[in-house]
């Protein structure tokens, strides 16, 4: 739905003299960028981590203010996720969504459903800290950074070339797999 050529939601209060255009909600009920990448408001840190865990490209920084978020969304054609509806109403923000839930698991499901992302889930390929794609590294390259038990039990390691964070399939990995499987299942419903 557009009011004066700007995308608005159904809660929009129609003003005298507005030009309203309503389009059918088909498979894609809103304009979408070619690549589904995101920029998240700074109160959505957990959602940012989950989306990165699922392999999605997410810009998130606790210091970014509304103006910066809107400019990144517009300049890089990223979908802006925020619970601040006023921010979504800014003129330059073309792609955006306000998750209804306050709970991060539910927010992930909302985003997966809304953008039909189940098929695009590619876990554990992106740094949870900085969003960069991970690279496989040899164990001896990261040996000095590992705790004794990790050295003993694990042989496959990934590293973030940007921030240096090392990842391996430790105990948290199994928990994440369970979580991802649940999200996939819930998203398919
Ligand atoms: Zn990193």
161 alpha carbon – ligand 1 mean position (Å): 7
Reduced to 3 states, what is the DSSP secondary structure of residue 57? Answer: coil
Q: Which of 30, 52, 24, 31 is nearest to 132 (CA)?
A: 52
Cα distance between residue 167 and residue 183, in whole Å: 22
CA–centroid distance for 55 within its chain: 9
Q: What is the C-alpha to C-alpha distance for residues 101 and 104, in angstroms, rounded to an integer?
A: 8
Q: Tell me the per-residue pLDDT of 53-84, one tens digit each, with 9 for 90 and over.
A: 999 999 999 999 999 999 999 999 999 999 99
Least confident of 27-36, 127-136, 143-152: 27-36
Return d(Cα 103, Cα 183) in angstroms, integer. Answer: 14
> pLDDT confidence of 27, banded at 50, 70, 90?
very low
Please give the average per-residue pLDDT across 133-142, as a whole number.
95
Distance 144 CA to ligand 1 centre (A): 18
What is the average pLDDT across 169-183? Answer: 80
Give strand pairing partners of 80. Answer: 39, 96
Whether 15 shows a pLDDT value over 60: the answer reads: yes
∠ Cα 39 45 48 (to 5°):
50
Contacts of 145 (CB under 8 A, 6+ apart): 166
Gap from CA of 38 to ligand 1 centroid (Å): 17
Distance 19 CA to ligand 1 centre (A): 46
CA of 133 to the centre of ligand 1 (A): 8
Percent of the chain with pLDDT over 90: 64
pLDDT above 70 for 28: no
Residue 26 has pLDDT above 60, yes or no: no
91 Cα–ligand 1 center, Å: 32
pLDDT-derived band at 142 (thresholds 50, 70, 90) equals: very high
């Amino acid at each position: 739905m557009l009011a004066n050529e700007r995308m608005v939601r159904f809660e929009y209060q129609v003003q005298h003299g507005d030009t309203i255009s309503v389009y059918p909600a088909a498979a894609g009920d809103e304009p979408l960028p070619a690549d589904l990448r995101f920029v998240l408001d700074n109160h959505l840190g957990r959602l940012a981590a989950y989306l990165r865990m699922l392999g999605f490209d997410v810009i998130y920084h606790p210091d970014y203010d509304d103006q910066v978020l809107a400019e990144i969304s517009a300049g890089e054609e990223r979908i802006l996720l925020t619970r601040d509806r006023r921010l979504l109403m800014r003129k330059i923000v073309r792609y955006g969504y306000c998750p209804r839930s306050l709970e991060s698991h539910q927010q992930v499901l909302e985003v997966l459903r809304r953008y039909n992302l189940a098929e695009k889930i590619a876990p554990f390929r992106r740094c949870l800290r900085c969003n960069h794609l991970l690279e496989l590294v040899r164990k001896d390259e990261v040996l000095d950074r590992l705790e004794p038990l990790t050295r003993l039990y694990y042989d496959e390691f990934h590293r973030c070339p940007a921030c240096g964070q090392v990842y391996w399939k430790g105990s948290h990995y199994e928990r994440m797999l369970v979580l991802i499987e649940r999200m996939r299942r819930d998203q398919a419903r």
